[in-house]
Amino acid sequence: MNPEVTSIGDINVDIITSKLKDMPQRDSQIILPEIRLSSGGCAANFAKAISKLGTAVRFIGKVGEDVFGDFLRDNLNGVDLRLLTGSKTGITVAITFDDETRSFITYPGSNSELKVRDIDFSLIEGKCLHIASFFLQGLRENTSEIMEYAHDNKMTVSFDTGWDPGGWSNEDTELVKNILHNVDIFFPNIKEGKAITGAKDERSICKELLDLGPEVIGLKLGKMGCYVATKDEGYYIAPFRVKPVDTTGAGDVFDAAFILGYLRSWDLEKTGRFANAAAALSTMGYGTERYPTEGEVRRLLRVESA
């Protein structure tokens, strides 16, 4: 398969709870009506989402030789998987709450063992390279090396740091800022944008980020929608009216749908609306089970504009 997009980064199993009102007290137990098992990891979610949207994609990551690794290989059908072997497959417990907030407990496993020396650069092919979950995989300081290779091969580079479990130390923030000069499209959420720039509102965050090097910012605002910007234009795009079940991975679906629009040379506002609609649809099921097709996204857009 000749991929149009290559995704590199984290892959793990997600154990996803149905909605809780509150966390259980210590030394106590609560009963849930539902717990689901899904493929996860931001880079793998991106690959599955863009594949579901009809784009050929290759994924490069690392898993263990264990039952979870076997599950992921089966679950990510449709993606050209180039999986390296590490110690143990990563696991995330995704806890969802009634107010649509989330908490995560993550064991990175083999993701933290993914190093630049592991990657066969000849496998990085297509029109776009996407790198995600910067803080949960082992590429870190060498991320720019991969991005530079992609640029040398005339690929667009998109990047989604994910949240920093270390709390955005000065060292981590500066490392991200230094990497952003190699990024064409950057996908932070509002909390990440604030942490990186120190700015408080959407327009200021995007302006600060654009000054660091990216050409396009897709700023994810959760249930408030998104704000997309270049140095010449910016658009706030309101949320779509859906009934969310689980928001885990919605940001990764946004990234995938945005890249689809970008590769098709859609204008910025159209691309942002499409990405926002795809992310909204993905929240209507657990994990990756409701990742939408292009046709499903277009139907939601028609309903919203009627």
Q: Is the pLDDT of residue 100 over 80?
A: no
- Phi, psi dihedral angles at 149 (to 5 degrees): -60, -45
Range name among 17-21, 70-74, 126-130, 296-300 with the lowest pLDDT average = 17-21
Place of tokens 């910007």: 229
Assess contact for 92 and 39: CB atoms under 8 A: no
Say if 65 falls within a structural domain: yes
Which one-letter DSSP state was computed for residue 20? B
Residue 249: domain span: 10-22+32-305
What are the tokens at 39?
């493929």
Say if 212 falls within a structural domain: yes
Residue 287 has a pLDDT of 85
Where does the pLDDT of residue 303 fall: very low under 50, low under 70, confident under 90, or very high at 90 and above? confident
Mean pLDDT throughout 274-300? 95
Say if 5 falls within a structural domain: no
Residue 44 has a pLDDT of 97
Q: Is the pLDDT of residue 83 over 90?
A: yes
Residue 306 has a pLDDT of 58
pLDDT per residue over 221-271, tens digit each? 998 999 999 999 999 999 998 988 888 899 999 999 999 999 999 999 999
Say if 123 falls within a structural domain: yes
Say if 51 falls within a structural domain: yes
Residue 113 has a pLDDT of 96
The pTM of the full predicted model, rounded to 2 decimals, is 0.95
Say if 4 falls within a structural domain: no
Mean pLDDT throughout 113-134? 96
Mean pLDDT throughout 125-146? 94
Say if 269 falls within a structural domain: yes
| CATH number of the domain enclosing 207 | 3.40.1190.20
Residue 246 has a pLDDT of 86
What is the count of structural domains for the chain? 1
Where does the pLDDT of residue 101 fall: very low under 50, low under 70, confident under 90, or very high at 90 and above? confident
Say if 27 falls within a structural domain: no
Assess contact for 59 and 43: CB atoms under 8 A: yes
CA distances from 58 to 1, 9, 142 (A): 9, 11, 20
